[in-house]
Chains A and B, each alone.
Chain A
Amino acid sequence: MPMALIELHNLQKTYRVYQKKEGLRASIKGLFKRTHKEVQAVKGINLEVEQGEFVAFLGPNGAGKTTTLKLLSGVIHPTSGTASVMGYTPWERENDYRRRFALVMGQKNQLWWDLPAQESFRLHQQIYGIDTQQFQNTLDELSDLLGLRKLLSQPVRELSLGERMKMELTAALLHSPEVLFLDEPTIGLDVVAQHNIQQFLKYYQEKRKITILLTSHYMKDVAALCKRVVIIADGRIQYDGSLSGIIDETTNRKLVTLQFANPITDSLLESLKRFGDIVQQEAPRVTLEVTRDDVPAMLTAILDAHDIDDLIVEEPPLEDVIADVFARVSKASDEEPSLDEGS
């Protein structure tokens, strides 16, 4: 079977973190003897990504998404495990590999602060050895797509956060990478800028058929762009599949919203509690969370007993489902036996 474009086998990364205790006395002690803790940022990730896929890594802060991307970019070495991207081992940092991929990190700037972006781009051209004509073509295309024409000659420090992010994206794509890693690209941006960047990424990926790995904790990024979602929490992959699949797999609850024709009484509410939990209540509507299988029976019973003006049955919001997954995972990890406390 041909190897996937990106393959990770049991990738692990453990950090040693020195602990600082509170208080003056402890600080003085810290001069002579330090305690440290082993933190497993990535606990064993197995993943395969084919060429042309657009995959999202979703997960709470500290889940290991960024660490995974950094391992794939060769920025850090793993503690154990293997990875291969386009046939290269990332942390060997071969020039050939580095010329074929790009990493963009939200809120981190690599462009020269005091100079126009144009100058930083020219530097990129030299470093990546991009042919002049091709460089100009690519730059024109990108600046048109992102609406950056007029901003190219302004010092980067004068640009807004959104504009700077677009410049970073441009810089990353100038050498036409085949693989693009995006680490929280829309973090801290306003809604319009986020939308712009999402649109751009969607268009660019479809046109160029490049492989993109995106990390985010914004649902909107993911929903807009990716068919495949990988949930990473507590250093492990918790789920790998389609977005809608998350709901099917992780929850069997549905939200039922009832709009009553008559005023809602306390006894009515009591009777509703039989079927499920009351999630929201704003007369004349009541929203219940009900187990999927109970829904038909519940509806029959209520429609028989009461006058209903409106009825909505829907999936719980994706954010809530995912937040549940995260919460469940972090609870499980709290109960794990504690790791080495060495000194």
Chain B
Amino acid sequence: MATVTSGQPYHGSRVKTWWTILKISLEERFVYRGDFALGTLMRFLPIITQVFLWYAIFAASGKSQIEAYTKKGVVAYFMLTMISRAFSSMPGLCSGIALQVRDGEIKKYLIQPIDLIGFLLITRVAHKLCYYVIALIPFAFVFFLCRGFFENGWPQASILCAYFLSLVMGFLLGFFIEASLGLVSFWFLEVTSLVFVYNLLNFFLSGHMFPLDLLPDWASEFVNLLPFQYLAYYPAAIFLGTIPPEQVWLGLAVEACWLIAFIIIARVMLNRGIRRYSGFGG
């Protein structure tokens, strides 16, 4: 086992550890190749039904525009939420942590000098990177085919920057929210229902199911107070230009506040949780 000698900088070996973890996680992803090939193709399927449903809605309504969206605009919206979701969805994170707590694997984080949250973040980055690399070509292809739906074309450079920033923050926000949920398992072992409720809320309130603009005013006000909109709706709205440019940066600042809040929550929960856990003399 490698030891840190006085000559080696501590950060050097830490970076090496993260890099090894990253490599191993990537390898792990490639092992199940049948899984991999199918999974990438399949992500496009739900959009198809959405498109047909909304076309049917528009057809019967006789209107050419619903709120800020034309028929094509709605399709563009759903395609963009796919990208936002590719950043902010964290499958298995919450239940993974709960499983580790339940099975006592958490112990190894008490003994080894590895930070649980940091480790999970790095592995999640690895998984996502791996996914993006493989998915880039099919995604680009589909978007190129469907470029006709993006009636406004590319946004300005500054808005585009805001868009990418919102994607990255969406990733981090999604991560820290789900990590916090998973850490609840230090107190309540059965988190599966919590996860389900969260996914439920996420599905509706994040804009995954429909553009949040369609909500009646009283509901809109409520939803704007929640962090879920940043996980799917907000990046899409930025790109499509349905949010006035002045408000874009304000929204991102609010999102940053939510992010910081959840980072703190996750940290505190981890520390308290570990103290509580080791207090049990397991």
Interface of A with B (CB < 8 Å)?
Answer: 20, 23-24, 27-28, 30-31, 34
Q: Residue B26 contacts which of A20, A27, A30, A34 (CB distance < 8 angstroms)?
A: A27
Contacts of B26 in A (CB 8 A): 24, 27
Which 7 interchain pairs have the tightest Cβ spacing?
A: A27-B30, A27-B27, A31-B33, A24-B23, A24-B27, A31-B30, A28-B30
Q: Does B249 contact A (CB under 8 A)?
A: no
CB distance from A209 to the nearest CB of B (A): 44
Q: With the chains together, A327 CA to B271 CA distance in Å?
A: 52
Residue of A nearest to B29 (CB): A27
10 intermolecular pairs with C-beta atoms under 8 Å apart: A20-B31, A23-B27, A24-B27, A27-B27, A28-B30, A30-B30, A30-B31, A31-B33, A31-B36, A31-B37
Contacts of B33 in A (CB 8 A): 30-31, 34
Interface string of B24-51 (1 = CB under 8 A from A): 0011001101001100000000000000
Interface string of B51-71 (1 = CB under 8 A from A): 000000000000000000000
Contacts of A23 in B (CB 8 A): 27
Q: With the chains together, A28 CA to B30 CA distance in Å?
A: 6
List 14 additional contacts besides A27-B31, A30-B31, A30-B33; criterion CB under 8 Å.
Answer: A20-B31, A23-B27, A24-B23, A24-B26, A27-B26, A27-B27, A27-B30, A28-B30, A30-B30, A31-B30, A31-B33, A31-B36, A31-B37, A34-B33
CB distance from A22 to the nearest CB of B (A): 9
Interface string of B1-35 (1 = CB under 8 A from A): 00000000000000000000001001100110100
Contacts of B27 in A (CB 8 A): 23-24, 27
Q: With the chains together, A30 CA to B26 CA distance in Å?
A: 13
Interface of B with A (CB < 8 Å)?
Answer: 23, 26-27, 30-31, 33, 36-37
Q: With the chains together, A28 CA to B118 CA distance in Å?
A: 26
Contacts of A27 in B (CB 8 A): 26-27, 30-31
CB distance from A301 to the nearest CB of B (A): 53
Q: With the chains together, A324 CA to B33 CA distance in Å?
A: 42
Contacts of B23 in A (CB 8 A): 24
Contacts of A20 in B (CB 8 A): 31
Q: With the chains together, A34 CA to B37 CA distance in Å?
A: 15
Contacts of B36 in A (CB 8 A): 31
Q: With the chains together, A1 CA to B30 CA distance in Å?
A: 57
Contacts of A28 in B (CB 8 A): 30
Contacts of A24 in B (CB 8 A): 23, 26-27
Q: With the chains together, A23 CA to B23 CA distance in Å?
A: 8
CB distance from B207 to the nearest CB of A (A): 34
Q: With the chains together, A31 CA to B31 CA distance in Å?
A: 8
CB distance from A190 to the nearest CB of B (A): 21
Contacts of A30 in B (CB 8 A): 30-31, 33
Residue of A nearest to B134 (CB): A31
Q: With the chains together, A34 CA to B30 CA distance in Å?
A: 12
Residue of B nearest to A29 (CB): B30
Q: With the chains together, A28 CA to B37 CA distance in Å?
A: 12
Residue of A nearest to B33 (CB): A31
Q: With the chains together, A24 CA to B26 CA distance in Å?
A: 7
CB distance from B102 to the nearest CB of A (A): 12
Q: With the chains together, A34 CA to B26 CA distance in Å?
A: 18
CB distance from A92 to the nearest CB of B (A): 30
Q: With the chains together, A23 CA to B36 CA distance in Å?
A: 18
Contacts of B30 in A (CB 8 A): 27-28, 30-31
CB distance from A17 to the nearest CB of B (A): 14
Contacts of A31 in B (CB 8 A): 30, 33, 36-37
CB distance from A45 to the nearest CB of B (A): 33
Q: With the chains together, A30 CA to B33 CA distance in Å?
A: 8
Q: Which of A20, A23, A24, A34 is packed against the most chain B CB atoms within 10 Å?
A: A24
CB distance from A18 to the nearest CB of B (A): 10
CB distance from A60 to the nearest CB of B (A): 28
CB distance from A248 to the nearest CB of B (A): 48
CB distance from A109 to the nearest CB of B (A): 16
Residue of B nearest to A23 (CB): B27
CB distance from A58 to the nearest CB of B (A): 34
Q: With the chains together, A184 CA to B31 CA distance in Å?
A: 31
Contacts of B31 in A (CB 8 A): 20, 27, 30
Q: With the chains together, A31 CA to B36 CA distance in Å?
A: 9
Contacts of A34 in B (CB 8 A): 33
CB distance from A237 to the nearest CB of B (A): 36
Q: With the chains together, A66 CA to B30 CA distance in Å?
A: 31
CB distance from B35 to the nearest CB of A (A): 11
CB distance from A155 to the nearest CB of B (A): 16
Q: With the chains together, A24 CA to B23 CA distance in Å?
A: 7
